[in-house]
Amino acid sequence: MNIRSIGLIYRREMGTYFSSYIAYVVIAMFLLVTGYFFYNLLASFSVISFQAQSNPMLERQYNLLNINETVVRPLFGNISIVMLLMTPLLTMRLIAEERKSGTLELLRSYPVSDIDILLAKYFACLTVFLAMIIPTIVYPVLLVILGEPEIMPMVTGYLGLLLLGATFISIGLFTSSLTENQIIAAAVSFGLLFCFWLLSYSIAFVSADLGKFIGYIALNEHLESLAKGVLDSEDIIYYLGLIALFIFLSLRSMESRQW
Amino acid sequence: MIAVENLIKDYGSHRAIDDVSFSMEKGEILGFLGPNGAGKTTMMRILTCCMPATSGRATVAGYDCFDEPLEVRRRIGYLPERVPLYDDMRVSDYLEFVAGMKGMTASSVPDSVRQVAENCGLSDVYGRRIGAISRGYRQRVGLAQALVNDPEILILDEPTVGLDPGQIKEIRALIKDLSGRHTIILSTHILPEVSLLCSKVVIINQGKLVAMDTPENLGAQVGGSSRLLLHIGGPPEQVETALGQVSGVTSVQRDGTSQVDECRFFVDFDQGQNPRKDLQALIAENNWELMEMRSISASLEDVFIKLVTRED
């Protein structure tokens, strides 16, 4: 592993993300959609709060007046769905674009190992992802100013989003390494991400043991507990393991694609 | 410097390179000649460790391309056929990126980048975006990235393709200039390029090596004998018989378009013989007029066509 090469490729990748406006457009759309979600959640919360003044029964229902339960937790759920739609757009070009243009061949004729190339690209994409997710901190900050939410679930929720995004990117990196067509890379990573996501729907239909297993491998189940404020090392290990697995698979794919 | 032994490369069921062996010494310029699809680019990709061979060995500067790719890559500069560059980067930034990637120390990067840009004639486009410069400049940027760390070995895949004649001349001059200090492999299907630049030619066709020699020897090898064209003023029949009797001459052919008192003849003679003097004497003796005499050696083009079509 050569830190200098990684740094150089990282800087070049960042240059491409921003000079091609991919980063600006994806970040802008992400903030637009998540902002809209946040606005609606907050609006419905305030409507319920007003109704609760005249109808005390409402207060006892479903934790409706707990801002963590009605705004913060759904907000993380919504943000993670928008992430699921946006990250493949960031990752699809990572390897596929360079494979198509032939620059990958030239890059690999330099004394640099495949893992350095992959890590540099992974971290560049992760940085753009951070630039995308950090502005959303405005939403919980607004909640803290306007109301009295619990802080801890928000902190662990963000940790969850970060780990989830990092996992999405590793899956996207892998699908991008499979092909030279960016559309195919994006389509396959959408497919993989949705499958990992929707697995949890099957829990109800299968036996308890299998359900437990599916609950463990489904991507969003782990975010759920983090968004509740439960910091469990199991969740963190799950995401880190998945990231390592997909970076390893990308490496194998790069090597085998030499024909 | 470069040695290839019994190299085979299969793409699925298609055999792109079939048992090719050759070697070259330091400072040589080796021309890879072959029709499109002969396996030139495949060979270069193997030598630059972009992909492994199916079987056989390739060593560059003493390092095996399969076992020690990083050591090989440290010593080569590669210009791929399509000249893939990052269009969104400036020429200067790109060359600095490549210099860094090739492991040059940070302090030596700016100077060597400026130097190589100047040598490759890039001063005018130094600050421009690569996507916005012309084909000729792109090619030079490609060459500059191969040269930036002054590698021992240069591997250039069709370095002059797609350029206008003036640019071709410049690039060739640049390559010529590099010979001696660098070991260069270049592939091309432009024949004069090989005779101009290369000290050694490898001709491959359908993945097989069909010939390897110096451009001159190759011409001789295929020609077998040497040939002179003579244009002589005199009675054709008489001249023809007389020419045939000169020692060393193996055959005389009369050109079809002969007139009554002058004619063109093709005179073949054995290699190593030089019947020119005797021919002159003969003509002077008979008081004929010598209007033209020149040697026709088999050009590389003839060699190429002969070798490549002989297979079929």
Question: Does residue B108 sit within a domain?
Answer: yes
- Digit-coded pLDDT (tens) for B56-98: 989 998 899 888 888 999 999 999 988 999 999 999 999 999 9
* Chain B residues lying within 8 Å of A4, measured CB to CB: 100, 103
- Residue A43 confidence class, pLDDT cut points 50, 70, 90: very high
pLDDT of the residue at A259: 47
Q: Are residues B129 and B28 in the same domain?
A: yes
pLDDT of the residue at A85: 93
Lowest mean pLDDT among A33-37, A127-131, B221-225: B221-225
Q: Are residues B167 and B28 in the same domain?
A: yes
Q: Are residues B289 and B209 in the same domain?
A: no
pLDDT of the residue at A202: 80
> Are B84 and A102 within 8 A, CB to CB?
yes
- Number of domains comprising chain A: 1
> Are B84 and A106 within 8 A, CB to CB?
yes
Q: Is B86 on the interface with A (CB under 8 A)?
A: yes
Q: Is B132 on the interface with A (CB under 8 A)?
A: no
| Contact partners, residue B254, CB within 8 Å, separation at least 6 | B236, B240, B263, B264, B265
- Digit-coded pLDDT (tens) for B111-165: 999 999 988 888 899 999 999 998 888 988 999 999 998 899 999 998 887 778 8
Question: In this predicted complex, what is the ipTM?
Answer: 0.87
pLDDT of the residue at B92: 94
- Digit-coded pLDDT (tens) for A192-224: 999 888 888 888 888 888 888 888 888 878 888
Q: Is the pLDDT of residue B30 over 50?
A: yes
Chain B residue with minimum CA distance to A10: B97
- Residue A16 confidence class, pLDDT cut points 50, 70, 90: very high
Q: Which of A20, A105, A111 sits opposite B88 (nearest CB)?
A: A20
Integer distance in angstroms from the first to the last C-alpha of chain B?
33
Q: Say how many C-beta atoms besides its own lie within 10 A of residue B114's C-beta.
A: 16
Q: Are residues B209 and B93 in the same domain?
A: yes
Kindly report the nearest CA distance between residue A6 and chain B, in angstroms. 9
Q: Are residues B113 and B193 in the same domain?
A: yes
Q: Are residues B184 and B252 in the same domain?
A: no
> Are B102 and A111 within 8 A, CB to CB?
yes
- Residue B312 confidence class, pLDDT cut points 50, 70, 90: very low
Question: Does residue B81 sit within a domain?
Answer: yes
> Is residue A130 a contact partner of residue A17, using CB atoms and an 8 Å limit?
no
- β-pair type (B2-11, B55-60): antiparallel
Q: At which of B221, B247, B268 does a domain end?
A: B221
Q: Are residues B137 and B56 in the same domain?
A: yes
Reported residue count of chain A is 259
> For residues A95-111, b (16+ Cβ closer than 10 Å) or e, as one string?
bbbbbebbbbbbbbbbb
Q: At which of B221, B243, B272 does a domain end?
A: B221
Q: Is B95 on the interface with A (CB under 8 A)?
A: no
Q: Is the pLDDT of residue A10 over 50?
A: yes
The two tokens of residue B74 are: 């440290």
pLDDT of the residue at B173: 85
> Are B89 and A5 within 8 A, CB to CB?
no
Q: Is the pLDDT of residue B299 over 70?
A: no
Q: Which domain holds residue A146?
A: 3-256
> Are B100 and A19 within 8 A, CB to CB?
no
Kindly report the nearest CA distance between residue A255 and chain B, in angstroms. 9
Q: Is the pLDDT of residue A18 over 60?
A: yes
- Kindly report the average pLDDT of chain A as a whole number: 90
Q: Which of A15, A112, A258 sits opposite B101 (nearest CB)?
A: A112
Q: Which of A5, A105, A112 sits opposite B50 (nearest CB)?
A: A105
> Is residue A76 a contact partner of residue A164, using CB atoms and an 8 Å limit?
no
Question: Does residue B306 sit within a domain?
Answer: no
Please report the residues numbered 32 through 51 in chain B whose beta carbons come closer than 8 angstroms to any beta carbon of chain A: 45, 48-51
| Contact partners, residue B189, CB within 8 Å, separation at least 6 | B33, B34, B35, B36, B158
Lowest mean pLDDT among A8-17, B187-196, B253-262, B286-295: B253-262
Q: Is the pLDDT of residue B225 over 60?
A: no
Q: Which domain holds residue B8?
A: 2-221
> Are A113 and B70 within 8 A, CB to CB?
yes
* Chain A residues lying within 8 Å of B97, measured CB to CB: 8, 12
pLDDT of the residue at A8: 95
Q: At which of B192, B221, B250 does a domain end?
A: B221
Q: Are residues B131 and B193 in the same domain?
A: yes
Question: Comparing C-alpha atoms, which of B251, B256, B246, B253 is closest to residue B283?
Answer: B246
> Are B101 and A113 within 8 A, CB to CB?
no
> Is residue B293 a contact partner of residue B246, using CB atoms and an 8 Å limit?
no
Q: Is the pLDDT of residue A162 over 90?
A: yes
- Residue B36 confidence class, pLDDT cut points 50, 70, 90: confident
Question: Does residue B18 sit within a domain?
Answer: yes
Question: How much is the average pLDDT of A125-144?
Answer: 95
Question: Does residue B96 sit within a domain?
Answer: yes
% of chain B residues with pLDDT over 90: 22
Chain A residue with minimum CA distance to B129: A19
- Number of domains comprising chain B: 2
- Digit-coded pLDDT (tens) for B249-276: 888 888 776 677 888 888 887 767 778 8
Lowest mean pLDDT among A15-29, A114-128, B221-235: B221-235
